[in-house]
């Protein structure tokens, strides 16, 4: 337990009167890939946004490296070492690839390493190097996702949160992205991953949580859940294939 990076303890989150999360608790260990899976509207993205400080919980607490996160604004959370790649990527479409990357290194502790981070980003994503002066909005979907991840890495995060990185990508590109996530993790980045592509996500995750209508329904190792008949039925679609 001593290498616990993030701990979410019993949080409730509301959008106005609508409760989006009820008593949600998760744990992320240092160096792991943790996946959050579940249907649309289960509260996965809300959980990421709450950890990132974009939303505030009304109850419960969040600890990151044993420091409380609740009440901190998004930019303070980012400065502590948590970076969210939001759903839809959140790129600065009218800024160039290079400007997007530079903005990724905005957190104070990342600024000093700007050049080495840039070199590493170009080594991981050679395609971005070819397009440094193009506008981010002019890239293809897969390249945009790579840029979003590269930009997040510029902050040298202790925890990288990815919200639906494979959304809208072709199966081939999507596979590349999952391989990339795996590589990043092997190089030491802790990753909290939200995915609709349950099959792929559970394959690479050491630990996973299944969410349903705002609460945690099941948890276990990725392979355990992948083998679980309930999970298979609900999210991988055995039952639906019959009809």
Partner 1 sequence: MKDMKTFYTGLVALIVLGLIVVPFSVNVERSYLIYFLFMAFIYVVIAQGWNVVGGYAGQISLGQHAFFGLGAYTTAMFWVHGLLGTGADYYFNPLLMILSGIVPAIVAIIVGIPLLSRLRGDYFALGSLGLGEIIRVFFVKGGDITGAQDGLHLPSGGYESMLPYYFVGLLLAVLATVGVYFIMRSRIGMAFRAINEDEVSASSHGINILYYKILAFAVGAFFTGVAGSLYGIYIFHVNPDSVLNINYGLYPILMCVLGGSATIFGPVIGSFFMAGVFVIAEQHFPMIHPIISGALIVLVMRFMPTGIVGLKSRLQRD
Tokens representing 206? Answer: 């050491």
Contact 58, 38 (CB under 8 A): no
- We find the least distance from the C-beta atom of residue 146 to partner 1, in angstroms, to be 16
60-85 as b/e: b if 16+ CB within 10 A? bebbbeeeebeebeeeebbbbbbbbb
CA angle (175 as vertex; 115, 144 as ends), nearest 5: 45
d(CA 26, CA 48): 11
- We find the least distance from the C-beta atom of residue 3 to partner 1, in angstroms, to be 25
Tokens representing 223? Answer: 């392979």
Contact 166, 200 (CB under 8 A): yes
Which of 92, 124, 180, 215 binds partner 1 (CB under 8 A)? It is 92
Q: Which stretch binds partner 1 (CB under 8 A): 23-31, 85-93, 201-209, 221-229?
A: 85-93
Tokens representing 221? Answer: 């190792």
**Residue 117 exposed, middle or buried by CB count within 10 Å (0-12, 13-18, 19+):** buried
Contact call for residue 60 and partner 1 (CB under 8 A): no
Pairing of strands 18-29, 4-15: antiparallel
Contact call for residue 75 and partner 1 (CB under 8 A): yes
CB closer to partner 1 out of 8 and 85: 85
- We find the least distance from the C-beta atom of residue 129 to partner 1, in angstroms, to be 17
Tokens representing 80? Answer: 């502590």
- We find the least distance from the C-beta atom of residue 120 to partner 1, in angstroms, to be 17
- We find the least distance from the C-beta atom of residue 242 to partner 1, in angstroms, to be 41
Q: Which stretch binds partner 1 (CB under 8 A): 50-58, 181-189, 203-211, 222-230?
A: 50-58
Size of the site for partner 1 (CB under 8 A): 29
Contact call for residue 135 and partner 1 (CB under 8 A): no
**Residue for token pair 């998760």:** 26
Q: How would you classify residue 235: left for phi > 0, otherwise alpha for psi between -120 and 50, otherwise beta?
A: alpha
Binding mask 101-120 for partner 1 (x = CB under 8 A): -xxx-xxx-x----------
Contact call for residue 94 and partner 1 (CB under 8 A): yes
- Binders of partner 1 among residues 167 to 226 (CB under 8 A) are none
- Binders of partner 1 among residues 136 to 175 (CB under 8 A) are 151-152, 155
- What is the contact surface with partner 1 in residues (CB under 8 A)? 52-54, 73-75, 77-79, 83-84, 86, 90-95, 99, 102-104, 106-108, 110, 151-152, 155
């Amino acid at each position: 337990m001593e290498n616990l990076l993030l701990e979410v303890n019993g949080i409730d989150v509301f959008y106005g009167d609508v409760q989006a999360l009820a008593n949600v608790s998760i744990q992320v260990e240092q160096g792991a890939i943790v996946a959050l899976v579940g249907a649309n509207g289960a509260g996965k993205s809300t959980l990421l946004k709450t950890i990132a400080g974009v939303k505030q919980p009304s109850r419960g607490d969040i600890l990151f490296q044993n420091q409380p996160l609740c009440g901190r604004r998004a930019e303070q959370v980012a400065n502590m070492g948590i970076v969210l790649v939001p759903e839809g990527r959140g790129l600065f479409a009218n800024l160039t690839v290079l400007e997007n990357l530079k903005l990724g290194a905005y957190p104070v502790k990342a600024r000093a390493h700007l050049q080495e981070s840039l070199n590493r980003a170009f080594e991981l994503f050679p395609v971005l190097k070819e397009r440094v002066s193009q506008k981010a909005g002019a890239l293809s979907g897969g390249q945009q996702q790579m840029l979003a991840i590269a930009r997040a890495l510029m902050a040298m995060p202790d925890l990288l949160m990815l919200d639906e990185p494979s959304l809208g990508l072709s199966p081939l590109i999507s596979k590349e992205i999952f391989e990339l996530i795996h590589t990043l993790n092997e190089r030491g980045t802790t990753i909290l991953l939200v995915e609709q592509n349950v099959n792929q996500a559970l394959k690479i995750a050491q630990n996973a949580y299944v969410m349903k209508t705002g609460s945690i329904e099941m948890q276990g190792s990725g392979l355990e859940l992948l083998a679980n008949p309930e999970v298979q039925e609900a999210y991988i679609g055995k039952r639906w294939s019959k009809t």
